[in-house]
Structure 1
């Protein structure tokens, strides 16, 4: 066992202790929620990393959590949404400040196409963020996505069911999300550093006039997506056949 007195004599920052948040080579992207930033290494969303958002059902506030990042998209970058289970609701997104002209919606016909499109959009380096709703994905698939995020310095958000928490993951950050009385509870399952003792409780901004009725979303949270009707794919990416 290392001598704590000897460790104390070393220059500051040379040794990282496991009970402290890990440092980050680059500052994180602000989440827009100070309480959450305080719990994340780098003070925000990690750049160039795979981030998993786990929830028992869609509509708990997972999109509202990302609004501060989405609205900061510059004019020369895209927001890629890969295989969302519901059609993005343009009026709510526009009112929230998300630039709709930079939103790229990709619909897919299979889990394999979803993973392919997610990897291509991430690796392109042309996106401020990539949001993807994959079906089944194994560890090898997650590893490829993580590498694409690292190489392109693009944050990749995967929306996955709650039971995915039982599956090991190479994701740099894993958050379990749930709604309670109009608030979003964020339980950090994995981060670079020790796990906190209690979930982070966030108050999501309320936007009058943007709520829609939905069996999938609690009425206390505004809805940013609606069930997608059957229509031809709007994908801008197509898998290669070989």
Structure 2
């Protein structure tokens, strides 16, 4: 027989304190690690912890390469490059050293990893996250099974790195363990960001971010080699890794 609890007894019970990994759908959740400001107040206000969360997997679903996704990340990358290295894993085009420098990012703070196959790239991403010696990883990958994403998420949770994974917008309906998924589409003067998944209430309206820039910094540092003749064609960092499936250059 269940015991009856009087209103007085109920009032003496301690309040329930939610762990950072537990959130109500009507409230904004949080991550254990502090967020890095995105540089855009309109976006920060819609993200748990008020910025890009570290120690997790952030998915950016892009309609096409070069719509402003790198300019979106630029403010956070500048913070990271001040003290730690940034890894570019399997970018769609050759990174441009001159464009990085124009953004205030020292080219020698960047590591470019080339992987011939998706399996090699996924393995490399996991090793980079587990190593933890860098400040951020940007990984371009179109083909990844849910179990592979889960492994990357677990590796990210054991690090203090910022980890963005750029995938095609066609991956939007596919299941993903990522706690933060954003869909990026080009818009007049900037980009529209749809919050596909977050620890917080649902938002149906996209966030429009203007990405106005001066000509000196408007060019993305990851573009086709033939897109602009004045760009420096050198790679950001030069090294070699032999007998490994992924090549670091």
TM-score bracket relative to the smaller structure: 0.7 to 0.9
Q: TM-score, normalised by structure 2?
A: 0.81
- 1:214 aligned partner: none
User: Could you tell me whether the CA contact under 8 Å between 2:185 and 2:191 is conserved in 1?
Assistant: yes
Find the aligned partners of 2:16 and 2:50 in 1 and give their Cα distance: 20
Find the aligned partners of 1:228 and 1:234 in 2 and give their Cα distance: 20
The answer to whether 1:186 aligns with 2:193 is yes
Measured at CA, do residues 34 and 76 of structure 1 come closer, stay the same or move farther in structure 2, by a change above 3 Å?
closer
Q: TM-score, normalised by structure 1?
A: 0.83
- 1:140 aligned partner: 147
Find the aligned partners of 1:82 and 1:74 in 2 and give their Cα distance: 16
User: Could you tell me whether the CA contact under 8 Å between 2:25 and 2:199 is conserved in 1?
Assistant: no
- 1:88 aligned partner: 95
Match of 1:209 among 207, 216, 228: 216
| Alpha-carbon shift at residue 17 of structure 1 (Å) | 3.4
Structure 1 vs Structure 2 CA RMSD: 2.7
Using the TM superposition, name which of 67-76 and 173-182 deviates more: 67-76
| Alpha-carbon shift at residue 52 of structure 1 (Å) | 0.6
- 1:158 aligned partner: 165
| Alpha-carbon shift at residue 239 of structure 1 (Å) | 3.8
User: Could you tell me whether the CA contact under 8 Å between 1:187 and 1:199 is conserved in 2?
Assistant: yes
Query: Considering only CA atoms, is the larger Rg found in Structure 1 or Structure 2?
Result: 2
| Alpha-carbon shift at residue 84 of structure 1 (Å) | 0.3
- 1:226 aligned partner: 223
| Alpha-carbon shift at residue 12 of structure 1 (Å) | 7.7
Find the aligned partners of 1:92 and 1:84 in 2 and give their Cα distance: 15
Find the aligned partners of 1:81 and 1:27 in 2 and give their Cα distance: 23
User: Could you tell me whether the CA contact under 8 Å between 1:78 and 1:129 is conserved in 2?
Assistant: yes
User: Could you tell me whether the CA contact under 8 Å between 2:66 and 2:223 is conserved in 1?
Assistant: no
- 1:217 aligned partner: none
Instruction: Give the total of aligned pairs.
Output: 224
The answer to whether 1:45 aligns with 2:42 is no
The answer to whether 1:106 aligns with 2:113 is yes
Find the aligned partners of 1:50 and 1:188 in 2 and give their Cα distance: 15
Find the aligned partners of 2:121 and 2:23 in 1 and give their Cα distance: 38
